[in-house]
Amino acid sequence: MSLLEIEKLSLSIGNTPILRDVELSVAPGEVMGLVGESGSGKSITALTVMQLLPWAARATGRVTFDGIDILAASEDQMCALRGDDIGMVFQEPMTALNPVKTIGEQVAEGIRWHTRASRADAEDHARKMLDRVGLPAAQFPLSRYPHELSGGQRQRVVIAIACALKPKLLIADEPTTALDVVLQAQILDLLRDLVAENRMGLLLISHDLAVVTEMADRITILRHGEVMEAGDTARTLSEQLHPYTRQLAQASMHVPARARTHEVGLDNPLLQGAKPLLQVDSVTRDYPGRRKSLLKRAAPIRAVDDVSFSIDPGQSVALVGRSGCGKSTLARMVLALDGPTSGTIRFRGQVITGKSEAELKPARRDMQVVFQDPYGSFDPRLKVEKLVAEPLHVLEKKPTNAERREMVAKALHEVGLSPRDMDKYPHEFSGGQRQRLSIARAIITRPKLVVADEPVSALDVSIRAQVLDLFAELNQKLGIAYVFITHDLTVARAITDAVMVMHDGKIVERGRTSEVLDHPQSEAAKALVAAAPDLHRAIARRLHEQG
């Protein structure tokens, strides 16, 4: 007997169909993984079960939870179910908690509402729940406010709220997507334990095949609102009978073909070749800290702490580390968008720290950037031509209009877009295409170095594979050196020669990519490697467990 049974669920919002004939079931104590790329309708499926849909949504079919017909249930019935029998954990921990209420109030609220417990009893219960999710009373009293907690801690509070009344079904919608890999592993462990302890059913929604494989007994693969394949996790993924399943799995494990890797300087632990392209010498960056009292000066926060390294021309280097380790701050200083508190950075032999914008022009020509968010990195008011041509601002001689169009056309061609795209606006492109635009913008001045800050982490797996291929190809063809900032080790493994691991503002380990990832030495690197979801490994483990 299933706990949750979804049969022939179709749903449309306004006139847009979102789901078609979705079938899915979760048994008590079972983990069901719901996988799909963005826009596949997986979140909407979850919201349908909770009946928290936008009001323009129309659903048909049958959704039965514990014998109750959800689609026909009244709002009062749903209120009784939500938070009591069905708990839900959301993707964005930073915004999922009410900023003006304490964590104690927020955990206790649902308890009081459903059990009519007294305030004291509810707070007692909330306290136990917070202890259980790893927020002990000493550091995390009930009187804490959400803004005093980190993202991982906030997600633990959300989990405490969802599991406080031991629901029969827990729905977790991308619960770890906003967290770094180490936090992800911790939160997944916590969810796994809670589910086992209380024999909850878990509907785990994720775009990450590796995460789902590690967690789920059975999976359902969704695409454009339709179920592609469903079944036992290990069998489905090892057999890969359905073409879409195969496509997803292959994209998740994709390694771009790189004919020639850059071996110069790799034997030297400092990665120093004869004539380095970029040289970073004992760079430190402090930010003003929070003042503890009116009288004492605040101790500064050290984001980057005495970092030195160098990169050779054409070399592809990954800078990996957990969120908040200082890797983005370091990248900004390399790009001369931020100045170090102390230390110097040389680019092609020239010091670029403490220079005026005019003096930086030659360096800026040879140094470009690709950002994470394919949506936020273009001014929506401008056409592609102006956007891609923006770095031409640093050229000695301003190109004429015709020359500029020529250059933009060439750059677009190189990233696999049509020169005709130049007269469009950025919103007319998909996420993957925008990231190509972003790369076109970065290579238009023929730079020697491109700094890419999590360039594929916002993309779906299939698109991600294509963009990684493009990066690899341009590295081969144009001899561009890369600094890849990422918390995702598969990306580092895919296209870099060397890896530097950052932790608390310091580089704690560096070396050839395969060596560091296969045999990490430092604690930080070990933690990253151990926590990184790996589809191969996950499938192997599942098969092994099942014999």
Partner 1 sequence: MTAYLLKRLAIALITLVLASMVVFAVLEIIPGDPARLMLGMNASADQVDLLRNQMGLNAPLASRYLHWAGGLLSLDFGRSYTYSVPVIDLVRERVVVSLPLALIALALSTIIAIPVGLFSAGRHGRAGDTIAMGAAQLGVAVPNFWFALMLIYLFAVWLRLVPAGGFPGWSAGVWPALKSLFLPAIALALPQAAILARVTRSALIEVLNEDYIRTARAKGLPYRAVLWRHALRNAMIPVLTILGLQFAFLLAGTIIIENVFYLPGLGRLVFQAITQRDLIVVESVVMLLVAAVIAVNLLVDLSYAVVDPRLRSRQ
Partner 2 sequence: MTLRFDIPEENFADILAKAFTNRSFLAGFVITALVAVIAIVSFFWTPFDVTRLIIADKTQAPSPAHWFGTDHFGRDILSMIMVGARNSIAVALVAVGIGMGIGVPLGAFAAARGGIVDEAVMRLNDLVFAFPALLSAIMITAIFGPGALNAIIAIGIFNIPVFARVARAGALAIWPREFILAARAAGKGKTLITLEHVLPNIVTLLLVQGTIQFALGILAEAGLSYVGLGTQPPMPSWGRMLFDAQTRMVAAPWMAIFPGMAIVVTVLGLNLLGDGIADILDPKSRRQR
Using CB under 8 A as the criterion, which residues of the chain lie in contact with partner 1 when the complex forms? Answer: 50, 52, 75-76, 79-84, 87-88, 90, 92, 95-101, 106, 109-110, 113-114, 145, 147-148, 158, 161-162, 290-291, 294
**Rg of the chain over all Cα atoms, to the nearest angstrom:** 25
Give the nearest distance from C-beta 322 to partner 2 in angstroms.
Answer: 21
Indicate the burial class of 331 (C-beta count within 10 angstroms; 0-12, 13-18, 19 or more): buried
Is the CB of residue 22 less than 8 Å from the CB of residue 10? Answer: yes
Toward partner 2, which CB reaches closer, 76 or 357?
357
3-state secondary structure 310-330: EECCCCEEEEECCCCCCHHHH
Residue indicated by tokens 């015709």: 402
Closest by CA position to 245, among listed 37, 48, 49: 37
* Nearer Cβ to partner 1 (259/294): 294
Minimum gap (Å) between residue 362 Cβ and partner 2? 10
Tokens of 168: 């029969």
Tokens found for residue 455: 């360039």
426 binding partner 2? (CB under 8 A):
yes
Report strand pairing: 4-13 vs 16-26. antiparallel
Asked whether position 357 contacts partner 2 by CB under 8 A, the answer is: yes
The site partner of 76 among partner 1, partner 2, none (C-beta below 5 to 8 Å per kind) is partner 1
| Interacting partner of 80 out of partner 2, partner 1, none (Cβ under 5 to 8 A depending on kind) | partner 1
Residues 40-79 interacting with partner 2 (rule: CB under 8 A): none
Q: Is 378 a binder of partner 2 (CB under 8 A)?
A: yes
Helices of type H across 71-150: 75-81, 103-115, 119-132
User: Among partner 1, partner 2, none, what binds residue 518 when CB lies within 5 to 8 Å by partner kind?
Assistant: none
Return the residues of window 386-415 that contact partner 2 according to CB under 8 A. Answer: 387, 390-394
Residue 21 as a binder of partner 2 (CB under 8 A): the answer is no
- The tokens for 195 are 């589910």
Distances in whole angstroms, Cα of residue 497 to Cα of each of 277, 475, 521: 15, 11, 18
Q: Which is nearer to partner 2, 71 or 360 (CB)?
A: 360
Decide which of partner 1, partner 2, none touches 393; Cβ closer than 5 to 8 Å per partner kind: partner 2
Q: How far is the CB of 408 from partner 2 (least distance, A)?
A: 14
Structure tokens at 221: 């693969």
Among residues 376, 420, 519, 521, which is the contact residue for partner 2, using CB under 8 A?
Answer: 376
Which listed residue (255, 299, 337, 530) binds partner 2 by CB under 8 A?
A: 337
Q: Which is nearer to partner 1, 38 or 95 (CB)?
A: 95
Q: Which is nearer to partner 2, 248 or 392 (CB)?
A: 392
- If one asks whether residue 355 binds partner 2 (CB under 8 A), the answer comes out as no
Query: What residue has token string 């004992």?
Result: 282
Taking the complex as a whole, the smallest distance from the CB of residue 361 to partner 2 amounts, in Å, to: 6
The Cα 202–Cα 29 span in angstroms is 7
Minimum CB–partner distance for residue 77 and partner 1 (Å): 11
Partner whose footprint covers residue 364, from partner 1, partner 2, none (CB < 5 to 8 Å by kind):
partner 2
Helix (H) or strand (E) holding 18: strand 16-26
- Assess 327 for contact with partner 2 (CB under 8 A): no
CB of 83 to partner 1, least distance (A): 3
The runs of H, that is alpha helices, within 311-455 are 327-334, 357-365, 384-388, 401-414, 431-443
User: Phi/psi at 362 (nearest 5 deg)?
Assistant: -60, -40
- What does 544 bind: partner 1, partner 2, none (CB cut-off 5 to 8 Å by kind)? none
Region of 302 on the Ramachandran plot (φ > 0 left; ψ -120 to 50 alpha; else beta):
beta
Question: Measuring CA to CA, how many Å separate 151 from each of 142, 147, 148, 240, 282?
Answer: 17, 9, 10, 35, 30
Distances (CA, A) of 466 to 256, 335, 416, 472: 9, 26, 10, 10
Complex with partner 1: residue 101 or 420, whichever CB lies closer: 101
The residue written with tokens 């580089």 in the block is 507
What does the block give as tokens for 546?
A: 């099942």
Contact in structure between 282 and 333 (CB atoms under 8 Å):
no
One residue of 21, 380, 406, 477 binding partner 2 per CB under 8 A: 380
State the binding partner of 425 from partner 2, partner 1, none, CB within 5 to 8 A by kind: partner 2
Q: Are 222 and 22 in contact (CB under 8 A)?
A: yes
Residue 32 interacts with which of partner 2, partner 1, none, CB < 5 to 8 Å by class: none
- Give the shortest CB-365-to-partner 2 separation in angstroms: 8
Min separation Cβ 498 and partner 2, Å:
24
Q: Give the contacts of 134 (CB within 8 A, at least 6 positions apart).
A: 156, 186, 190
Closer residue to partner 1 (CB): 59 or 248: 59
Q: Which does 27 bind (CB under 5 to 8 A by kind): partner 1, partner 2, none?
A: none
Q: Which residues make up the interface to partner 2 (CB under 8 A)?
A: 335, 337, 357, 360-361, 364, 367-369, 371-373, 376-381, 387, 390-394, 425-427, 441
